[in-house]
Amino acid sequence: MVRRLFPRSIRARLTTVATLIAAVVFIATATITLATIPDNLRGVVQARVELAVRRVAAEARAGTLPRVLETPSRVHILQVFTADGRLLASSPDPAQGLRLADLRPVWPHTVRFAERTVSRNPDEPETHYLVMALTTQTPGGPVTVYGASSLTDVDRALKWIYVLVFIGTPLVLVSVAGITWISVGSALRPVERIRAEMAEITGQDLSRRVPVPDTGDEITDLATTTNDTLDRLERSAETQRRFVADASHELRSPISALRAQLEVASAYPDETDWRATGEQALAAADRLTGIIDELLMLARLDAGAVSERRVVDLVRVAEDQIRRRAGGRVPILPDLCASAPVYGSPMQLDRLLTNLLDNATRHAATRIDLEVAVEGDKVIVTVTDDGDGIPPQDRERVFERFTRLAPARAKDKGGSGLGLALCRDIATAHGGTVTVADHFPGARFVVTLPLYGKP
């Protein structure tokens, strides 16, 4: 089993990442600080002492060296010694025990630095000094100028820096981890409520919804999308239950009729016209087959199954339909363009036109008009009958499954109410639409599909 580098919890992972990033930043900052600040602080003291020493050396070279040397601010000791170690000049209050004469420059006119730790007075703690020596030539011979400045302020500042780096950095990292843990926990609390609510939602009760926080952030969007998905699931489940109930009812009717006919024929075999009974049984079986085929095709479309597709010329499909229906009850008057290619399933597109023409045949009084045309990047198929028509308020309802209007039930008791629903699903699966347009008398169905080869 491969070990995880980070914990599984998002809260723990974000806390770990934030702490690691903070640690990298603070360690880098501390490294740069410890590498530069001490030298910078000592450099300031060194520049101050060097300036004072060079000033005294200039006075010595000019022969104007006083016996008592004036020390600038923050320079504590200035002394001038001859080559044989005799003291020529000194600041008013030199530190006891601070030996300066043992620090000698290697070359004339060059500055040498060193650090000494002494006590100015026996009762005081030791003091850390930065000592500087510079040899110069004077009218009386070579002399060495010494200067010293206390590093107490520098040591105190460095002590605080070390405390902040080595004690403050862990405290800051702990604070970052704690703040991140609390902040992420607070941000994820709505997610936990959503998870708990989702865990209690079952297929038997899809009416519940997850709480939507009013923060307006991504979690609000997540909760809103989740509720929208639950809405769709609830509608889908309700549609499925209604579909199963309607399908059971539609299948029960022909089965019951077929059973009744066969029971009567079996009870009175001598009085039964077996030829007529067989024809009625075949008609009932054909109706059952048609309903089952349409249900299976609807189920495939609902499941998103992709049938084999190729380029189909709807003009050729329309011509095949007209040939198959020649000599029927109602003539079909075609108005076809030269070619109308679309990309799709030949079987489904043929079924689309079959259902529309079957519907028109059931309702037409004297004629059916079939038109196939190309308009821009669309193929338009129009099926028009001169029957009773469809009221405007029912023009969307007729595409619902198992929906049959009262006039349709009165004219034809054998319909299933699935044909137009299947037409819309097939058109939608091919990127098109099916609508009912205004027309009088009768009804006009308009199918719009993308023309093959056009963007």
Asked if residue 441 has a cis previous peptide bond (ω within 30° of 0), the answer is yes
Q: How many domains does the chain have?
A: 3
Query: Can you tell me the distance from the alpha carbon of 133 to that of 101, in angstroms, rounded to the nearest whole number?
Result: 9
CA distance 366 to 416: 24
Per-residue pLDDT for 1 more than 50? no
Instruction: Identify whether residues 182 and 266 lie together within a single domain.
Output: no
Beta carbons of 414 and 291 less than 8 angstroms apart: no
Say if residue 298 is in the same domain as residue 349.
Answer: no
How many Å from the N-terminal Cα to the C-terminal Cα in the chain?
51
Residue that finishes a domain, picked among 271, 303, 335: 303
54 plus 189 within the same structural domain:
yes
Average per-residue pLDDT for the chain: 82
Give kind and range of the element (H or E) at residue 434.
strand 433-437
Per-residue pLDDT reduced to its tens digit, 303-329:
666 678 899 999 999 999 999 888 888
Do 112 and 232 lie in one domain? The reply is no
Cα separation of 229 and 298, whole Å?
22
Exposure string over 7-28, b if 16+ CB within 10 A, otherwise e: eeeebeebbbebbeebbeebee
Domain end residue (candidates: 303, 324, 350): 303
From 63-77, 174-188, 242-256, the region with the lowest mean pLDDT? 242-256
Exposed/middle/buried for residue 415 (C-beta within 10 Å: 0-12, 13-18, 19+): buried
Tokens encoding 263: 């029971």
Mean pLDDT of 205-227: 82
The larger pLDDT score, comparing residue 452 to residue 274, is at: 452
3-state secondary structure at position 160: helix
Average the pLDDT over 437-452 and give the result. 91
Residue 348's H or E segment, with its range, is helix 346-363
- Predicted pLDDT at 2: 41
Check: CB of residue 129 under 8 Å from CB of residue 48: no
State the pLDDT at residue 391: 87
| 225-237 pLDDT per residue, tens | 888 888 888 777 7
Ranges 1-5, 140-144, 261-265, 429-433: which has the least confidence: 1-5
Please tell me the predicted confidence (pLDDT) of residue 152. Answer: 86
Residue-level pLDDT at 335: 92
Return the pLDDT at 446: 95
pLDDT in tens, 71-100: 888 888 888 888 888 888 888 876 655 666
Element holding 451 (H helix, E strand): none
Residue 120: its pLDDT value, please?
55
pLDDT, tens digit, 9 for 90 and up, residues 274-298: 788 787 778 777 767 766 776 776 6
At 454 the pLDDT is: 57
Query: In terms of residue numbers, what domain contains 263?
Result: 219-303
**At 374, which CATH number?**
3.30.565.10
> 212 in a domain, yes or no?
no
Using only C-alpha atoms, the chain has a radius of gyration, in whole angstroms, of 50
Categorize the per-residue pLDDT at 21 as very low, low, confident or very high, splitting at 50, 70 and 90. Answer: very high
Pair (132, 263) in one structural domain: no
Domain final residue pick, 200, 234, 268: 200
Residues 321, 282: one domain?
Answer: no
Same structural domain for residues 295 and 181? no
136 in a structural domain: yes
Neighbouring residues of 418: CB distance < 8 A, sequence distance ≥ 6: 291, 294, 295, 298, 401, 402
Q: What is the rounded distance in angstroms from the CA atom of residue 356 to the CA atom of residue 197?
A: 46
Structural domain includes residue 27:
yes
Average pLDDT over residues 424-428: 89
Give 203's pLDDT tier (boundaries 50, 70, 90). Answer: low
Tell me, yes or no, whether 214 lies in a domain: no
Tell whether 8 is covered by a domain: yes
pLDDT the model gives residue 38: 87
Q: Are 446 and 381 in contact (CB under 8 A)?
A: yes
* pLDDT tens track for 359-370: 888 888 899 999
Question: Is pLDDT at 383 greater than 90 in this prediction?
Answer: yes
Of 151, 131, 184, residue with least CA distance to 7: 184
User: Treating both helix axes as pointing N-terminal to C-terminal, what angle do 314-324 and 346-363 enclose, rounded to 10 degrees?
Assistant: 50
The strand pairing partners of 333, in sequence order, are 369
Q: Per the domain annotation, does 209 fall within a domain? A: no
| Portion of the chain with pLDDT greater than 90, in percent | 20
* Euclidean distance between CA atoms 320 and 357, whole angstroms: 12
Do 287 and 352 belong together in one domain? no
Interatomic CA distance for residues 393 and 401, integer angstroms: 17
The half-sphere exposure of 434 on its side-chain side, counting CA atoms within 13 A, is 26
Would you say residue 352 has pLDDT above 70?
Answer: yes
Co-location of 262 and 324 in the same domain: no
- Same domain for 332 and 401, yes or no, is yes
In a domain, 30, yes or no: yes
pTM recorded for the entire structure: 0.49
- Specify whether 233 is located in the same domain as 355: no
H-run or E-run covering 280:
helix 274-303
Residue type, 440: F
439: Cβ contacts below 8 Å, ≥ 6 apart = 384, 389
* Whether residue 103 is found in the same domain as residue 141: yes
Residue 182 lies in a domain: yes
Picking from 343, 351, 340, 252, the residue whose alpha carbon sits closest to that of residue 301 is 351
Under the banding of pLDDT at 50, 70 and 90, the label for residue 358 is confident
CA-to-CA dists, residue 220 to 150, 182, 183, 225, 332, angstroms: 63, 20, 17, 9, 57
Query: Among 192, 224, 429, 157, which residue's Cα sits nearest to residue 309?
Result: 429
What does DSSP assign to residue 95? P
